[in-house]
Amino acid sequence: MLIQLASALIRELGVGLAVSEKAFQKMGVFRRMAGLSLLQNLLPFTGYPYEGAIIDCPVCGASNHKQIARFDRRLKRLSTHMCFTCGLFFTNPMPSSAELDRFYAATYRAEYQFAFLRPRKTHQIRKQREADSRSSRISEIIGFNEPVRFLDFGCGSGELVRAMAVRGYEAHGFEPGVDYGSFGQDKLAEDAGGANAIRVGSWRDMDYPANSFDAISCLHVLEHLNDPMAALEKIHDWLADGGVLYLETPNMQNYVLKGFDCFHFAHVLGFSRDNLLFALEKSGFQMLREDRPTSFLLVKKGDPRGAALVYDLAGAVKKNHSEFTAGITLFSYLKRHSRRIKKVAKEEIRASQS
């Protein structure tokens, strides 16, 4: 019980613990953490180990932005700016592409989920459930009258790629994390071989030809990227005419406590509905269907099924600024995180008993 509670506490601070009690004792958690220099990313009131560079808004390019938070949810020093033209939140200084590639290739999963060689059991169960639901959603929209080529942009441990392959699609994906990507490759080979494939590497390194895919998913990935417009340009290029993009990000307006508690190093961007729609419209997309405020099914401009994207950037700026500058009390912060720690502890206990 104490192990699971410690696991939950560490995960809530941003380092998730993905091992059983036996494995926890065997691994020597502190030796592992020291070996990966994770301690530097845990200590409150200290900065993260990156240099980055001061940038203007990575979505609209405006220079009209200001610092809105000096700390993140771990109480570590992390400067977050808000754009006063489109309302986007972004880390500033922004980590370089090389710094982010290193972080996601070797550190991200260990730091946020304490998963070194493979996803923890709770992750696999949750992601498989999500993949089943999402693959059903994609199939419903696309239909299956002819061979369909599918890409999961940032596929993690590959559950959605496998789910689509099992349904008969030619399914592809890529993942920057070596451990999760390799795990996905092995599981995909077990469940569905053939033309299906998962690559390990950054999105910048992928060389898929233009018009390669009839459907692309980009689910909770865009907020991790320092150049979202370049990523959307690649997606637009890879998507075949008549194809469908399924895109989703966290919605900054969904947070109960709006302030520094919403920010952390892995999410270098913070979208809300209007600035996400603006980015998509600027990248050449139209609306096919809106599931939630930051969850959309989209087609390329010119597709007769599509509708114009409508957004209100001035309204987004006003709402985000007023709500995110109200401040968070220490009591509300501690209350919020104590609830989350209890929830995560229950998940760990259930996983250790199954």
Same domain, 248 and 193: yes
Same domain, 274 and 157: yes
Same domain, 211 and 308: yes
Q: Compute CA distances 39 → 105, 245, 258, whole Å.
A: 18, 39, 27
Distance CA 74, CA 264 (A): 7
Same domain, 305 and 343: no
**pTM exceeds 0.75:** yes
Distance CA 124, CA 111 (A): 17
Same domain, 175 and 297: yes
Distance CA 225, CA 267 (A): 8
Q: Compute CA distances 79 → 3, 55, 317, 325, whole Å.
A: 33, 12, 18, 14
Per-residue pLDDT, 183: 87
Same domain, 296 and 255: yes
Same domain, 222 and 129: yes
Distance CA 285, CA 305 (A): 11
Same domain, 28 and 143: no
Per-residue pLDDT, 3: 44
Distance CA 39, CA 56 (A): 31
Same domain, 147 and 174: yes
| Centroid of chain to Cα 69 | 21
Number of domain units in the chain: 2
Contact indicator for 309, 261 with CB cutoff of 8 Å? no
pLDDT (tens, 9 = 90+) of the chain, 354 residues, equals 444 444 444 444 443 333 333 333 333 443 344 344 556 666 888 999 899 999 999 999 999 999 999 999 888 999 999 999 999 999 999 999 999 998 888 777 666 666 556 667 777 778 888 989 999 888 888 776 666 899 999 999 999 999 999 988 999 999 998 888 888 898 888 877 677 899 999 999 999 999 999 999 999 999 999 999 999 999 999 999 999 999 999 999 998 778 888 999 999 999 999 999 999 999 999 999 999 999 999 999 999 999 999 999 999 999 999 988 876 666 777 776 677 667 666 766 666 666
Same domain, 210 and 306: yes
Per-residue pLDDT, 160: 95
Same domain, 87 and 158: no
* CATH number of the domain residue 150 falls in: 3.40.50.150
Q: Which residues contact 46 (CB under 8 A, 6 or more apart)?
A: 40, 76, 77
Which residues form the domain of 237? 121-313
Length of the chain: 354
- Report the amino acid identity of residue 289: R
Same domain, 83 and 145: no
SS3 of 330, please? Answer: helix
Per-residue pLDDT, 19: 34
Q: Compute CA distances 225 → 95, 96, 101, whole Å.
A: 10, 10, 10
